Structure 1
Amino acid sequence: MSHLSRRHEISGESLHRRYLRPRQHPRWLDGGNNTCPAAMQILHNKDFTPNRTLQRLIEIWSDSVHRRACAESAAPTRNEIADAIDRVKIEKEERYDREILSNILRFARESGDNRAFLAGKDDFVRLLVDLIDFSKLSPSIRTKISDRRRFSNLILKPGRELLTVIVSLFQTGNVELKIDCAGLLEFITVDGESKLLIAERDGLVTELTKSMNGDSDPRLIEASLSFLIAISSPKRVKLDLIREKVITNLTKLLTDDATASSVSVTEKCLKLLESLASTKEGRLVIYGGDGECLKTVVKKHAVTVVWSVCYLFKEEKALEAVMSTNGVTKILLLLQSNCSAAVRRMLTDLLKVFKVYSRSCLAAYDTRTTHIMPF
């Protein structure tokens, strides 16, 4: 160590002695140089003294690396893990949380028996949730993840079972945890494959449907709706949602006083209905039965849903349901409003359909007029 670093008395620079005068290959001093290679100051003498400070720092670093290597070489025993788990339930210290997580990982990697031992511990999953602090994946953190696809692939990677853990947390967690889980699941739905993988996980859609009732926390309802909208584009997922009677739940949300007053909830409900209306099975439910869903949609001025079932697919029962709720008058009123060009085109299409369906009512109606006909 004493030969590793030398400090020159004049320049004060610490230099490798081997660089100054190696045993076999003269480079600097033996090459006739009389200046410091670092500071380029003239060396009045060529005597060097050991740099004790640097030597001591190197020794400290070397010892710490050696101790860490020794500590990590052997996995903790079962008694040590059990004591650590009991201790972490009492002590809530971030530094110790990191330490116990590291020990648990080393212990679990050691053998299958160790993993079985951990699985048999009471509340072990709950303990892991507390240690990991799931809130760290809150929206403020997720927005800093630039590569969503890579993050999604890490979560959904086969064999890692991280998706199973997240779904389990959604099923068993409190409201805050459910909201965080729904947000995380929505965040990792980046393509059709990820949507199918997540949506077809056992029990997830059922649990989401349960969370969308009038008694649930409004934030949880919104988070669940946002997630369902995110995964609803594949037809297989749409059919699963229809089988889980999601349309019935959406109708209840639109008619319940507690949730219908929320603009955000209403918009999300109508957007999800719009997606489900693109399937024949979805349209049958929307205008089927007593037509309550379609009547509610007409009242909410959900033009896209009505246009889909009445104009695009020309479902006769849907036309009857709209007529029974004085839907034509509502369409005429909307035409007089300051609606967008796209909405105006859909309203005009609807009037054409109703003109054919009920000639006695709209036989003389000209879609280019700007007044509302009396009925």
Structure 2
Amino acid sequence: MAKQRRLAEELYLTVPSLYRCPISMDVMRSPVSLCTGVTYDRSSIERWLALGHNTCPATMQTLPSTSTTPNLNLRRLIDLWISQAEAARTSRIEVSKQVASDVISGAAGLDSDSLENVIDFMKDSWDNTKLVAQSRGFVVRLVDALAKASEIRISELIVAVLDPILQEDGVKELLNELILENGDCLSSFISVLQKGAVESKIRTAKILEFLAANPESRRKIEEKQGLLHELYNLSTAESNSSAVEAGLSSLLAISTTRPAKKDLIRLGIVGTVGTILSGYENAVRAVTEKALGVLEQIATCTEGRGAIGADERCLAGIVRSLMKCSGEATEHGVAVLWSLLCLGRDCAAAETVVQVNGLTKVLLVMQSDCTLGTRKMCVDLVKVLRGKQGKSNLAPYETRTTHITPY
């Protein structure tokens, strides 16, 4: 059954309704007919009858007899259809291989049909993907075509080819070299982020994240007008956690300089992260980790600390996420609080943290299996927060945590 369904999906075939079981809606493997004349897959109708039903599922007629008769003619038709579908699939793969070979070798151009054949060729096996990655001349032509692309569909297809080969030996280095030489590629990436399908946007964000490992490429990406804005927009796609994660992860890799951090703050990244953290119970773990990672990064500059400290919802979200998501998220959260309260000495932020039970959370982090650096930051935070909370409020907690000696 899975093989039959896969054939239909891969070949975009419309399965004749006659071949579908009225119960499961899948292609029938062993068609049998009831006395009403309706044909079902044997396994489906047997389950129906085993549940105590005495009616025909399609007509709801009462069955005078529950015996079934194999529909041999229909089975022969289904078997013939499947064999033809398999032959068509095999032919399609062979055509894809030949066209892909021509495209990779340079014997054919880079239009949408040829690029789709290359993608099919890569999907067929990992060896094919490696072959594409090792074709340096083809990668050069891809990047050149990306820089010149006027159709969004072409840009999306090129991104779909580049994404799977990024981690192959030498590809990332070659792409960095080519993009440093031809900055027009970044304009095409912006176009995909603006107009492409969600999956294409996610692939583009991943490519930019990989490229940002090179300092020179990262600088060009940071300085490209509108690129950070589009990645930020991707991180606000609340209905698609994969898109949010890809956007935040790319921003985390790219926004390492103060000007880039200031741009993110101006775009509203603190409020966006606050929204994510306010619903952390329902957020995907990786999204929460990336969101707190971005906050930690922008908290290293004065403007970032000011923006975070002024957003009470964001502060409350940071405190709530401590010890609730993962060790990585907790360490990011502690680092943000330390930057605000110890490095920035933000008294108003410290009071907000106290009001949302921040001291208790920091003490719990200290008792956990956190890193030495995180524990040291917690020591500093306890000193600040104790001074804000006052002994009368702290006393009930101290009686339960007398083993903690923060300083």
Q: Is TM (by shorter chain) over 0.5?
A: yes
Cα distance, 1:261 vs. partner?
Answer: 2.9
The structure that has the greater radius of gyration is: 1
Distance in 1 separating the partners of 2:349 and 2:221: 33
Distance in 2 separating the partners of 1:214 and 1:141: 26
Distance in 2 separating the partners of 1:325 and 1:333: 14
Distance in 1 separating the partners of 2:184 and 2:237: 32
What residue in structure 2 maps to residue 129 of structure 1?
Answer: 155
What residue in structure 1 maps to residue 307 of structure 2?
Answer: 285
Equivalent runs, 1:198-237 vs 2, <5 Å: 198-213=221-236, 215-237=238-260
Conserved? CA contact 1:205–1:244, under 8 Å? no
Q: Describe the superposition over 1:107-157 as per-residue Cα deviations: whole angstroms up to 9, x where unpaired.
A: xxxxxxxxxxx9xxxx95246337x6432212x411113374453121121
Equivalent runs, 1:348-367 vs 2, <5 Å: 348-361=379-392
Equivalent runs, 1:251-266 vs 2, <5 Å: 251-256=274-279, 260-266=282-288
Give the structure-2-normalised TM-score.
Answer: 0.57
Distance in 1 separating the partners of 2:316 and 2:191: 37
Conserved? CA contact 1:149–1:190, under 8 Å? no
Which residue identity does 2:252 align to in structure 1? I
Cα distance, 1:226 vs. partner?
Answer: 0.9
Which residue identity does 1:248 align to in structure 2? G
Distance in 2 separating the partners of 1:271 and 1:199: 18
Percentage identity across paired residues of the two chains: 31
What residue in structure 2 maps to residue 146 of structure 1?
Answer: 170
Distance in 2 separating the partners of 1:170 and 1:282: 26
Distance 1:192-1:315 versus aligned 2 partners, 3 A rule = farther
Equivalent runs, 1:108-123 vs 2, <5 Å: none
Choose which of 315, 320, 335 in structure 1 pairs with 2:346: 315
Distance 1:224-1:165 versus aligned 2 partners, 3 A rule = same
Cα distance, 1:359 vs. partner?
Answer: 4.8
Greater CA drift, 225-234 or 200-209: 200-209
What residue in structure 2 maps to residue 267 of structure 1?
Answer: 289
Which residue identity does 1:188 align to in structure 2? L
How many equivalent residue pairs? 260
Cα distance, 1:350 vs. partner?
Answer: 0.8
Distance in 2 separating the partners of 1:321 and 1:305: 14
Cα distance, 1:191 vs. partner?
Answer: 3.9
Q: Describe the superposition over 1:243-273 as per-residue Cα deviations: whole angstroms up to 9, x where unpaired.
A: 111111111112236x843111111100110
Equivalent runs, 1:1-375 vs 2, <5 Å: 93-94=99-100, 99=107, 101=109, 124-126=150-152, 128-129=154-155, 133-138=158-163, 140-146=164-170, 148-158=172-182, 161-213=184-236, 215-256=238-279, 260-289=282-311, 291-301=312-322, 302-361=333-392, 369-370=402-403
Distance 1:145-1:162 versus aligned 2 partners, 3 A rule = farther
Conserved? CA contact 1:322–1:328, under 8 Å? yes
Q: How much is the aligned-residue C-alpha RMSD, in angstroms?
A: 3.3
Distance 1:187-1:338 versus aligned 2 partners, 3 A rule = closer
Conserved? CA contact 2:354–2:389, under 8 Å? no
Q: What 5-or-longer segments of structure 2 have no aligned partner?
A: 1-94, 112-144, 323-332
Give the structure-1-normalised TM-score.
Answer: 0.61
Which residue identity does 1:254 align to in structure 2? L
Q: What 5-or-longer segments of structure 1 have no aligned partner?
A: 1-90, 104-117
Cα distance, 1:223 vs. partner?
Answer: 1.0
Which residue identity does 1:230 align to in structure 2? A
Distance 1:95-1:306 versus aligned 2 partners, 3 A rule = same
